[in-house]
Copies of this chain bind each other. A is one copy, B any other.
């Protein structure tokens, strides 16, 4: 039951042609994945990826190739093996120098760690969220790298959190299977869309059952005010509208800009400034209250999330499935968020991020926070057709995945067609 080979594919979708995904910092993303398949000697495969927006995806693929030497020959049939593998992938001292635990190497580790969890949960015959829910508190805690966390949360503290969630877990698993998990949608709000499209898509979102939508802001204040006013008029006062600046501002600028949008009742301001700026987020949150602050999709590791929580810098923690080093590091982040009482509202969209991250939120509900209050998972209606077990939304909620694994597998024909630079789609464009 060991991994015998690792395949890596550079797959990119030419999304920049339609301005899907456009925002104030990322005007022309080509949603991409550094995609990996682990082959095990018992015939099982593990699929995983990290998400990028185009250029540099090849470097993530090369980094995955470099890290593959820690994966080939590894056993991954249980959670203890997954903890060991994660630590090997993040703790090689020479490679650690390139971060530590950030940037291209960490994205590469995410792809491999996620693929290993896909493999393990396929072997167990369970969707990842149920596989995680089946682990004991001790097994979960052993998957985490506790280094640098103990001033905020110790393994013992984490065990207490997990044990407290044991009662009622079976009922919550059944509830997730029955009712899914709440979503919000960013589809109406891309910066490249004109007002008419924003209004039409916002109305459609409400008709589809969403209670929250999100608008991109930060390029031009008058445009933002006009679009926000139109969207608010379209959906009415009862629907939450979050706004997202994608790191565009400095601290003072963030406060002033969001104050100028306050009359339209923003639910949260997302990524107001640099994802590295813990103290900046804390200052913005303090000055903008009661408007809430959210960040996380670019927060690179558990040490940064720890500080965002310690500093009281965020109202919502936007975990990303493949920015930090995969499932193991996200277990730490879920536990930290619970400890500080901050709801996790994951980042998704891109390509495949919806497919992945819902597993983590569902596990959070069954086994960590045990609540869905104020929790929503981002949903964007892009590129799901490329996955073998795509996200299914019903009445504004994520349907619980049922297929064994982490829902990371892309269709073979998609991988071939969008392989970069030699797949037929890119050859036609070139």
Residue ranges of A at the interface with B (Cβ–Cβ < 8 Å): 25-30, 52-56, 58-60, 62-63, 66, 92-107, 147-151, 247, 250-253, 273-280, 283, 298, 300-301, 303-304, 306-307, 310-311
Q: How far, in angstroms, from A275 to B63 measured CA to CA in the complex?
A: 22
Q: Is the CB of B103 within 8 A of A55?
A: no
Q: Is the CB of B151 within 8 A of A250?
A: yes
Give the nearest-CB partner of A250 in chain B.
B150
Q: Is the CB of A25 within 8 A of B103?
A: no
With both chains docked as a complex, state the minimum distance between the C-beta of A92 and any C-beta of chain B, in angstroms. Answer: 7
- Contact A251/B104 with A94-B56, A276-B301, A307-B279 known, Cβ cut-off 8 Å: no
Pull 20 A–B residue pairs with CB atoms less than 8 Å apart, ordered by A.
A52-B98, A53-B93, A55-B66, A56-B95, A58-B66, A63-B104, A98-B103, A100-B275, A102-B102, A102-B300, A103-B106, A104-B104, A148-B277, A150-B252, A151-B250, A276-B300, A277-B306, A277-B307, A278-B279, A280-B307
Q: Is the CB of A93 within 8 A of B59?
A: no
14 further interface pairs, Cβ-Cβ under 8 Å (given A25-B93, A60-B98, A280-B307): A26-B94, A26-B97, A27-B93, A30-B94, A52-B97, A59-B98, A100-B274, A102-B103, A103-B106, A148-B276, A148-B277, A150-B252, A276-B301, A278-B278
User: Which of B59, B100, B280, B303 makes the CB contact (< 8 A) with A62?
Assistant: B59
User: Which of B28, B93, B251 makes the CB contact (< 8 A) with A29?
Assistant: B93
Q: How far, in angstroms, from A21 to B251 measured CA to CA in the complex?
A: 40
User: Which of B63, B149, B273 makes the CB contact (< 8 A) with A59?
Assistant: B63
Q: For A101, list chain B residues within 8 Å (CB).
A: 276
- Contact A252/B100 with A52-B94, A303-B274, A307-B278 known, Cβ cut-off 8 Å: no
- Contact A93/B151 with A62-B59, A103-B102 known, Cβ cut-off 8 Å: no
With both chains docked as a complex, state the minimum distance between the C-beta of A93 and any C-beta of chain B, in angstroms. Answer: 5
With both chains docked as a complex, state the minimum distance between the C-beta of A230 and any C-beta of chain B, in angstroms. Answer: 26
With both chains docked as a complex, state the minimum distance between the C-beta of A247 and any C-beta of chain B, in angstroms. Answer: 7
User: Which of B30, B54, B103, B148 makes the CB contact (< 8 A) with A103?
Assistant: B103
Q: Is the CB of B27 within 8 A of A283?
A: no
Q: How far, in angstroms, from A30 to B283 measured CA to CA in the complex?
A: 42
- Contact A276/B303 with A93-B28, A105-B59 known, Cβ cut-off 8 Å: yes
Interface of A, helix, strand, loop or mixed by DSSP: loop
Q: Is the CB of B106 within 8 A of A251?
A: no
Q: Is the CB of B93 within 8 A of A26?
A: yes
With both chains docked as a complex, state the minimum distance between the C-beta of A8 and any C-beta of chain B, in angstroms. Answer: 14
Q: How far, in angstroms, from A102 to B29 measured CA to CA in the complex?
A: 20
With both chains docked as a complex, state the minimum distance between the C-beta of A15 and any C-beta of chain B, in angstroms. Answer: 11
Q: For A307, list chain B residues within 8 Å (CB).
A: 276-280
Q: Is the CB of B54 within 8 A of A59?
A: no
Q: How far, in angstroms, from A93 to B246 measured CA to CA in the complex?
A: 11
Q: Is the CB of A66 within 8 A of B56?
A: yes
Q: For A300, list chain B residues within 8 Å (CB).
A: 102, 276
Q: Is the CB of B100 within 8 A of A107?
A: no
Q: For A276, list chain B residues within 8 Å (CB).
A: 101-102, 148, 300-301, 303-304, 307
With both chains docked as a complex, state the minimum distance between the C-beta of A371 and any C-beta of chain B, in angstroms. Answer: 27
Q: For A148, list chain B residues within 8 Å (CB).
A: 250, 273-274, 276-277, 280
Q: How far, in angstroms, from A280 to B302 measured CA to CA in the complex?
A: 13
Q: Is the CB of A98 within 8 A of B56?
A: yes
Q: For A59, list chain B residues within 8 Å (CB).
A: 59, 62-63, 66, 98, 104-105
With both chains docked as a complex, state the minimum distance between the C-beta of A271 and any C-beta of chain B, in angstroms. Answer: 11
- Contact A150/B104 with A94-B56, A98-B59 known, Cβ cut-off 8 Å: no
Q: Is the CB of A103 within 8 A of B99?
A: yes
